[in-house]
Structure 1
Amino acid sequence: MKCPFCQHEDTQVLDTRVSEEGDSIRRRRRCVSCDKRFTTFERIELAMPVIVKKNGSRTEFDQTKLRASLMLALRKRPVSAAALDTAIHHIEDKLRSSGEREVNSGVIGELVMRELKRLDKIAYIRFASVYKSFEDVAEFQDAIEEVDQERKPPTQ
């Protein structure tokens, strides 16, 4: 690790600590040349996969777009910001843990629908109607019946 003060390439680690969350390591270092001290952090860097759109074009994953889509579906619905953040985190975790370098946009759509179904049934129907391009009332009814079936306990 180069010293940020004198650019010397030899530094000594004085102290190493794991963060409270356990997701980074803090190292206190000393330059053997100028004797100045500084701190470095080590974090895991997992890259998000590239998104392949329906038309075949590729784009970087954009959390802002994901958040905007979820917020649009959840507009005027009683869902907390914390629950929204958790849903976004779940989607990002699924994408990262897939290990894929590229993911079709449809995969993200399905992940969003799964999270919305868990968060709020109305928001799920809103999103599904646009995502699945409902053509008539029957498709709405099918989606509503699907959600309604999940709420009802199985009859014996």
Structure 2
Amino acid sequence: MIDSRPADDGSSIRRRRSCDVCGKRFTTYEKVETIPMIVIKKDSTREQYRRDKIENGVLRACYKRPVSAEDIQAAVDRIETKIFSMEAKEIPSSQIGEIVMEELKGLDEVAYVRFASVYREFKDVNTFMDELKKILK
């Protein structure tokens, strides 16, 4: 091992290493394992929290939008930090959705509306327009 320090996100360790065989240098990131968080879904079923589900939702919302991959990852990091800072063993998916929407609102308004339209299951144009009016205020 060559170097070890906290990563920029503060929740992982960045280590610079070198291969014993070829000498090539590389970086690894180690995350601290926490007690698994359980997500309570809309239908009252429970499943283990998975970061990739949030990443996929944010990526879909930001599809073909001028949002960099770094900004998306930073947003997902902030979302995850908010979720875990609640220190709850179980969290409703509706609460996670609200946190994601709040983060997307600051990232890209179109991405926010896309996510909200799926998350809130807009039934008609009027509910969609109500959400747009909230943004415009």
Say how many residue pairs are matched.
116
Name the CA distance, whole Å, in 1 between partners of 2:75 and 2:32: 21
1:56–1:43 distance in 2 versus 1, CA, 3 Å = closer
Q: Which of 82, 107, 118 is the aligned partner of 1:130? A: 118
Percent identity of equivalent pairs: 40
Please give the secondary structure, in 2, of the residue aligned with 1:100: coil
Residue 95 (structure 1) aligned with residue 83 (structure 2): yes
Post-superposition shift, 1:19? 3.9
SS of aligned partner of 1:20: strand
- State the superposition RMSD in angstroms: 2.2
State the TM-score, normalizing by the size of structure 2.
0.76
Deviates more, 1:57-66 or 1:77-86: 57-66
- Unaligned stretches of 5+ in structure 1? 1-17, 27-41, 150-156
Q: Does 2:5 align with 1:20?
A: yes
- The structure whose RCO (Cα within 8 Å, separation 6+) is larger is 2
Structure 1 equivalent of residue 43 of structure 2:
55
Q: Deviations over 1:110-143 (max 9, x none)?
A: 0110111011000111111111111121111111
| Distance change in 2, residues 1:112/1:58 (3 Å) | same
For the pair shown, the structure with the greater C-alpha radius of gyration is 1
Q: 1:84 to 1:55 in 2, by over 3 A?
A: same
- Structure 2 Cα separation of the partners of residues 75 and 47 of structure 1: 32
Shift of 1:47: 3.0
Deviation above 6 Å: which 4+ runs of structure 1?
A: none
Describe how 1:1-150 pairs up with structure 2 within 5 A. Answer: 19-21=4-6, 44-149=32-137
